Amino acid sequence: MIFEQSKPLTGEVTVPGDKSISHRGIMLGAIAKGTTSITNFLKGADCLSTIACFRKMGIEIEEKGKEILVHGKGLHGLQAPDGILDAGNSGTTTRLISGILAGQNFSCELTGDASIQKRPMKRIITPLSLMGANIESIRGNDCAPLRIHGTSLKGIHYDSPVASAQVKSCILFAGMYADQKTSVTEPYLSRNHSELMLGSFGADIHTEGNTSVISPEPLLYGQEVAVPGDISSAAYFIAAALLIPSSELLIRNVGINPTRDGILRVCHKMGASIELLNKRIQCGEPVADLLVKHSPLKGTVIEGAIIPTLIDELPVIAVMAACAEGKTIIRDAQELKVKESNRLEILVHHLTAMGCDVTGTEDGMIIRGGRPLKGAVLESHLDHRIAMSFAVAGLVAEGETEILNADCVNISYPDFYRDLLQR
Ligand code: S3P
């Protein structure tokens, strides 16, 4: 894909459904009793991997008009899959499904693409093993492929060393199959979509501070899940509208859950004009329309508790910081090294290639913003968020920016280029 400096972004855009909530709708729908109807489901490759895994375990999932219908079979209704479960590129599928698989009465193998086979799974193997699960990394490298022999589980308390919603959700899902309550404490609060959705499906789950506690053997019942637009997808439009002079863009129906809204808080600190209109609650999740106007931005410091609330947005925030006046410091973001790619390394490389003054650090980077970006040829490394972030950079840079292997955006936003270039 080739990008050039863009005219202002005006009018409206509606981004696709939230990836995290779409995954969880399928998973909880599958182990609930009765039918779950999901609207605005994200039909990106990651969520389709989750559907494929549950279909392989005997769950009927159909598309009916605008709905996805999941015909759940209850907590103990999954069947042994015939063949290996394939999570594709999806860390959420791999880690969350492992929590469910650990408590089944069958064994199976779970794997994914080359990127998934390099991502750390020890973070779920350790707590699941403490619960009595029988889970191993087949190659002994703490990565997928994983072999999981379902068994009876013990409820535990786990102090997670990482603020990761995938780790937390994996443990809470396994906790439904345990013999007593299971609790997880994380260093900072990560996204809480699992907790909210578990509650609405009927689980006994409570959160206090950074600790969530779930009771075993809940009676889950199918629900209607209306998925809000994904703030992680909205992030590219927020950034483009802020950066391109004279832009004024309305982004409709965006999830603004406080465990996900760090990008809005950082943008405000950088001097952005973003108005939250028509705030409402939809299926327990806060939602709003965002009116974003071009704004001169200034550098900021991003660290600590806010990091998990904007972890997937850091690549595009780094692009904004490159265009802002002054210094931006990003700290405590070492998790970026173990995403779909090593995002810290790639961000520093690509921003440098575009003429930005940036220094990588152990857990983040220092960006001295304000130099005009220059077009460059950039590899996506098959990472959707790298491709989309640098597409935005390409709309503000001088000259031409070429993104190689650009079609990886189908992971979370198949129509991204159409929506971005139609503005
Ligand atoms: C996700 C959690 C985050 C995020 C990922 C989706 C989820 O990962 O980066 O894109 O749906 O739970 P971590 O839990 O590894 O931080």
Q: Which pLDDT tens digit goes with each residue over 357-404?
A: 999 999 999 999 999 999 999 999 999 999 999 999 999 999 999 999
Cβ(112)–Cβ(144) below 8 Å: yes
Predicted pLDDT of residue 422: 86
Residue 74 pLDDT level (bands cut at 50, 70, 90): very high
Tallying the residues shown for the chain, one arrives at 423
Ligand 1 atom 15: the closest Cα is on which residue? Answer: 164
Instruction: Tell me the pLDDT tens digit for each residue of 194-236.
Output: 999 999 999 999 999 999 999 999 999 999 999 999 999 999 9
Q: H or E segment at 249? A: strand 248-255
Ligand 1 atom with minimal separation from the 308 CA: 16
The residue nearest atom 4 of ligand 1, judged by CA position, is: 312
Strand ranges for 107-188 from DSSP E: 107-111, 134-137, 146-149, 157-159, 182-185
> To the nearest 10°, the Cα dihedral for 321, 326, 330, 331?
180
CA nearest to 26, candidates 34, 16, 36, 14? 36
Q: For residue 248, count CB atoms less than 10 angstroms from its CB and return exposed for 0-12, middle for 13-18, buried for 19 or more.
A: middle
CA 142 – ligand 1 centroid, Å: 18
What is the 8-class DSSP label of residue 259?
A: T
Asked whether 148 and 133 are in contact (CB, 8 A), the reply is yes
**pLDDT-based confidence at residue 42 (cuts at 50, 70, 90):** very high
Strand 182-185 with 157-159, pairing: parallel
For ligand 1, the distance from its centroid to the CA atom of residue 337, given in whole angstroms, is 13
Distance between Cα 339 and ligand 1 center (Å): 9
Instruction: Give the C-alpha separation, 175 to 160, whole Å.
Output: 15
Q: Is the distance from the beta carbon of residue 37 to the nearest atom of ligand 1 less than 6 Å? A: no
Residue 26: pLDDT band by 50, 70, 90 thresholds? Answer: very high
Which of left, alpha, beta for 402 (phi over 0: left; psi -120 to 50: alpha)?
beta
**284-304 pLDDT, tens digit each:** 999 999 999 999 999 999 999
> Does any ligand 1 atom lie closer than 6 A to the CB of residue 336?
no
* DSSP designation for 365: E
Which of these, 393, 390, 388, lies nearest to 419 by C-alpha position?
388
**Does the pLDDT at position 423 exceed 80?**
no
Active-site residue list: 312
- Stated as kind and residue range, the H or E segment containing 169 is helix 165-175
Task: Find the 344 Cα to ligand 1 centroid distance in Å.
Answer: 16
- Structure-token pair, residue 284: 């327990």
pLDDT tens digits, one per residue of 123-132 = 999 999 999 9
Q: How many CA atoms lie within 13 A of 194 on its CB side?
A: 29
How high does pLDDT run on average in the chain? 98
2/17 Cα distance (integer angstroms): 26
Q: Which residue lies with its CA nearest to atom 16 of ligand 1? A: 164
Q: Give the integer Cα–Cα distance in Å for 212 and 230.
A: 24
Residue to mutate, 164, 184, 227, ligand 1, most ligand atoms under 8 Å from C-beta: 164
User: Ligand 1 centre from 291 Cα, in Å?
Assistant: 26
User: 231: Cβ below 6 Å to ligand 1?
Assistant: no
Mutate to test the pocket of ligand 1, among 26, 172, 311, 388 (most ligand atoms within 8 A of CB): 311
Around 421, how many Cα atoms within 13 Å sit in the side-chain half-sphere?
11
3-class DSSP state for residue 240?
helix
